[in-house]
Amino acid sequence: MAPPLTPPVRTLMGPGPSDIHPRVLEALGKPTVGHLDPFYLETMDELQGMLRALFRTENPLTMAISATGSAGMEATVVNLIEPGDAMVVCVNGVFGTRMTDVAQRAGAEVTTVEKPWGEVFSVADLAPALESKPKVVGIVMAETSTGAWQPIPDIAAAVRDAGAMLLVDAVTSLGGVPVEVDQWGIDAIYSGSQKCLSCPPGLAPVSFSPRAVDAVMNRRTKVQSWYLDVSMLANYWGSDRVYHHTAPINMSYGLYEALRVIHEEGLEACFDRHALNHQALKAGLNALGLEFTAQEGHCLPMLNAVRIPDGVDDAHTRRQLLERFGIEIGGGLGAFKGQVWRIGLMGYASRANNVLLFLAALEQLLSEQGVSIDAGSSVAAANSVYQ
């Protein structure tokens, strides 16, 4: 017999998943019904309405893909792209690189526009690539590997003026900072349930504009993926309720409650909370001499990427945080592997007590490794922000 399942209690302050809100955990355990049960269909309707409010859109085709955020990326790409289509992808971290790979596998002729990791894109950076009249331009709004926050409005306008459709990765940004799908003119967008929504990984909220839906419905070829073909998924999430797959009922309960929690708090209050805790954490980290990797003025509030001080052991520090203090943070990816810590303040994890606990623990571990710091300086700096 396998032993009983007894997972440890952790404070999840990495790049995801984030701490799960207790109400969400409770919702996950509610009675399962059928995926075509009238109760579940009503739940889907309410879920769609709350997602539209969070995405700030009226798009009818707004739903939760039954898979993780990476499937949201794949769903948006494979539905908009046909073999031979031209696509521009902005690459300034791991997830722009991943979008490039997905687009190439879908048969796109991909042009990448690249910036150093941690920097963001301007309209001028994209101008040469837009002259080729691509069908789709893909960009990551919150690059989880670098902590860089990409402004979208000006780029969205430039993409629209070029006659292309804009595809946005909002996996880390949704629920932590404003996302304005209709106002900015985003054609397709995807996210994940496990970041600022504080729900377990397993669902990928997506939304398609009417222009994007028109492109999907008038394809010359079938969508590469049967499971992710939104022309069929639309019939399940729409009024016809045509069976497509057995949806993850209890995960839908979890996302439903997670969205209720966000809307009860209020979007602006939610965004303000993320910003405040980020500022407190940043003040504390700066007091310890840690530098952020993202371009100045473009640091994400929910994902703080900082350079590891010289002489400090990356893996040892993260392991000690986990074993001694129950805190999980993330290491660097790709070009930042071994050089960066990624500290998440996402959703339910974005709380003052987490910020202060983490800073106190980090101070102790850095001091043990010979880093010269003023004891209590980081906590004091954070508290000055809260006060």
Give the domain CATH number at 318: 3.90.1150.10
Cβ atoms 169, 138 nearer than 8 A: yes
In a domain, 15, yes or no: no
Q: Tens-digit pLDDT profile for the chain (387 aa)?
A: 999 999 999 999 999 999 999 999 999 999 999 999 999 999 999 999 999 999 999 999 999 999 999 999 999 999 999 999 999 999 999 999 999 999 999 999 999 999 999 999 999 999 999 999 999 999 999 999 999 999 999 999 999 999 999 999 999 999 999 999 999 999 999 999 999 999 999 999 999 999 999 999 999 999 999 999 999 999 999 888 898 999 999 999 999 999 999 999 999 999 999 999 999 999 999 999 999 999 999 999 999 999 999 999 999 999 999 999 999 999 999 999 999 999 999 999 999 999 999 999 999 999 999 999 999 999 999 999 999
Q: State the pTM of this model.
A: 0.97
Compute φ and ψ for 292, nearest 5 degrees: -80, 150
Q: Give the DSSP letter of residue 299.
A: B
Evaluate whether 142 touches 177 at the Cβ level (below 8 Å).
yes
Burial of 280 (0-12, 13-18, 19+ CB in 10 A): buried
Looking at residue 58, the DSSP 8-state letter turns out to be -
Cα three-residue angle 134-207-19, rounded to 5 degrees: 120
Same domain? For 311 and 337 the reply is yes
Whether 128 and 249 map to the same domain: the answer is yes
Structure tokens at 279: 């500022």
* CATH code, domain with 108: 3.40.640.10
* Domain contains 6: no
Residue 360 sits in which domain range? Answer: 266-386
Number of domains into which the chain is organized: 2
Domain boundary among 264, 281, 310: 264
DSSP assignment of 162-178, as one string? TTPEEEEE-TTTBTTB-
Q: Are 306 and 359 in contact (CB under 8 A)?
A: no
256 lies in the same domain as 337: no
